[in-house]
């Protein structure tokens, strides 16, 4: 079965510094990977996805993610963090062995950006 | 464009009372629909998913049930709520067909069982 792991419960970064939120995955076959963001008491918002092609995927709000097949990682990055980026971030993988319609989420990483 | 509506936003219910949360999607046809529960602001647990009217798959045994009476309507129910049913419930939809499509979420319902 597919799974994702987010090894950090929390990431702290100063505004203007680069940020990285880590994600590793375990899949059989080609992975379909996603990042979502959640603000307090709100639903999740889609940020970006990796399906195939370039290993560096660009998404919303200046975020990007790097797919690394050898390390089975899909880390979320942003060159310069903003205070408004503070939120809960989820990595997710699409489970293919049941028709592709189940998305498995990681436990989430809380990002704090300090001014 | 597509939108998803989920209501109510917050709900406080006594133990043993019934529950009905509703979710509707606009601007698309024949979507896959999902109910997730999020505990303590962390990871999401998939409760139910549906690929069509009347077709419901349950992921975990629990005190809840789901129904899809219309193509774009998904309802989460309980006959008698337990304290452990408290949490943040999220409805989501995705396009059928390609397996690489992202899910789109409603704004969630915070349920507190007292």
pLDDT of residue B98: 65
- Joined together, the tokens standing for residue A8 give 């950090």
For residue B50, the domain's CATH number is 2.60.40.10
* A25-82: pLDDT as tens digits: 998 777 889 999 999 888 899 999 998 888 999 999 999 999 999 999 999 999 999 9
- pLDDT exceeds 70 at position A100: no
Beta-carbon contacts of A45 under 8 Å, excluding residues fewer than 6 positions away, are A36, A37, A38, A39, A60, B105
Q: Does B41 touch chain A (CB under 8 A)?
A: yes
Mean pLDDT computed over every residue of chain B: 91
In the predicted model, what is the mean pLDDT of residues B42-56? 90
The domain total for chain B is: 1
Percent of chain A that is helix, strand, coil (3-state, to 5) = 5, 50, 45
pLDDT the model gives residue A62: 95
Mean pLDDT of the A84-110 span: 84
Residues of chain A with C-beta less than 8 angstroms from the C-beta of B107:
42-43
- Is the Cβ of B103 closer than 8 Å to some Cβ of chain A? yes
Q: How far is CA A36 from CA A42, A46, B55, in A?
A: 12, 5, 27
CATH of the domain at A77: 2.60.40.10
Counting the structural domains of chain A, the total is 1
**pLDDT given for residue A99 in this prediction:** 57
């Amino acid at each position: 079965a597919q799974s994702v792991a987010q090894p950090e419960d929390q990431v702290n970064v100063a505004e203007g510094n680069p940020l990285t939120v880590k994600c590793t995955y375990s899949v059989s076959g080609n992975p379909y990977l996603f990042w979502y963001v959640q603000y307090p008491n709100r639903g999740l918002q889609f940020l970006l996805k990796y399906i195939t092609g370039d290993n560096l995927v660009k998404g919303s709000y200046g975020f990007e993610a790097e797919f690394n097949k050898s390390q089975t990682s899909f880390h979320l990055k942003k060159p310069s963090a903003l205070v408004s980026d503070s939120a809960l971030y989820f990595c997710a993988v699409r489970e293919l062995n049941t028709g592709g319609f189940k998305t498995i989420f990681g436990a989430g990483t809380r990002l704090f950006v300090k001014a | 464009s597509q939108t998803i509506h989920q209501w109510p936003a917050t709900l406080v219910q006594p133990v043993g009372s019934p529950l009905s949360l509703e979710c509707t999607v606009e601007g698309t046809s024949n979507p896959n629909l999902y109910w997730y529960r999020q505990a303590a602001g962390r990871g999401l647990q998939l409760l139910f998913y549906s690929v069509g009217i009347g077709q419901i798959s349950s992921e975990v045994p629990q005190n809840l049930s789901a129904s899809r009476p219309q193509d774009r309507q998904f309802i989460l129910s309980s006959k008698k709520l337990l304290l452990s049913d408290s949490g943040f419930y999220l409805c989501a939809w995705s396009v059928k067909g390609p397996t690489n499509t992202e899910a789109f979420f409603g704004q969630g319902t915070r349920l507190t069982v007292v």
